Every structure is written in structure tokens, then in C-alpha cells.
Amino acid sequence: MEEIHPVDPADLRPSSPIGARLLALNNQHATELSWLDADRFAQLAARAFVARRIGCVDAFLLAFDQDADYDSPNFLWFGARYVRFVYVDRIVVRPAARGRGLARRLYQDLFAEAAGAGHERVVCEVNQEPPNAASDAFHAALGFAEVGNATIHGGCKTVRYLARPLVVRA
């Protein structure tokens, strides 16, 4: 079983093969995630509460807590409603690596990290327009429930906001 690794600052250097793979995987799924240039990807990963990858970038996850310096309209939506949360900004699995439980493992890792830090919930959004039925089913199976929706980016995208409560460790 491939290990979960933190995204190291060295991974984000322009010359890093890991960084190039992370960025390429992100941008191959720009419809679901949003396209990023190398500098913006490095900034986001450096600010993340959790930045993890599996293997030689078979999958990755970036998540931010409520204190992050982040201007995403989705992150800001949650920030206006919740005091403590961890927002999953992006999670993606390389097509050839799907079906091996990698996204589930990344989420389980995040749930443990967030609960250990005293966070009350993990939140995310899933595209409603354009639809993402596979992501809807996946998040429902993990215990996420809809808490709102919005139309963003000048009406180009409609999203469903989801939340999953955590059992916080004392």
C-alpha cells in the first residue's frame, strides 16, 4: 500500500518532478478544481492546514482551516457561517489510480488530523453545474450532507456546499 506523504516545500520548487506532477494532475481536472499556475499552486500548498499526496502523485489533497489567508469564494462562504472548520479545497486521484481507495484514505487522514486539532467539521463543495455525480456519491458515503449552495464565477458554476461533523478528541 502506498504511503501518504506531506507535500514538502521542496516538492513545490519549479524544478521538482513531484511539483510538476502535482500541478499537472490539478490542471488535468481544472473543470472540477480550477486551473492554477505553478506559483499559485505553491502558495496554496504552503498555506494549507493539510497538504498530502499518495505515492508519486497518484492522488493529492489540499485543505485549509478557518484561519487561512485564502480568497476562494467557497472558503469565504464557509468562513461566514462557521467558527471552526477545515475546508477541502481540492482532492484528485490520477485516472489510472482510481478504484484503489486513495481519496478515501486521504479523507480519513484529514479527518484524524482535523479532529486532533479540535476542528468541529470538514467542509467542501461539489459542482452542481456542471454536475459531478461521482463526487456527490463519494461524499455522501463519507457522511457529508448539504448545508447550502451558490452560483459563482459570474454564473458559470453552481456548487453544493457540504459538511461532515467530526468527533473532536479531548
The pTM for the full model equals: 0.91
85, exposed or middle or buried, with CB in 10 Å at 0-12, 13-18, 19+? buried
Between 22-36, 89-103, 143-157, the lowest mean confidence (pLDDT) is in 22-36
End-to-end CA distance of the chain: 31
Share of the chain above pLDDT 70, in %: 95
When the pLDDT of each residue in the chain is averaged and rounded to a whole number, the result is: 89
Between 30-44, 55-69, 100-114, the lowest mean confidence (pLDDT) is in 30-44
Question: Which residues neighbour 11 within 8 Å (Cβ) at sequence distance 6 or greater?
Answer: 18, 19, 22, 45, 53
C-beta atoms surrounding 143 within 10 Å: 14
Domains and CATH numbers, the chain: 4-165 (3.40.630.30)
Residue 59 CA: distances (Å) to CA of 8, 22, 99, 114: 15, 8, 12, 19
pLDDT at 139 over 90: yes
| Contact in structure between 157 and 151 (CB atoms under 8 Å) | yes
- CA dist 139 and 130 (Å) reads 17
Between 27-36, 63-72, 124-133, the lowest mean confidence (pLDDT) is in 27-36
Mean pLDDT of 93-112: 94
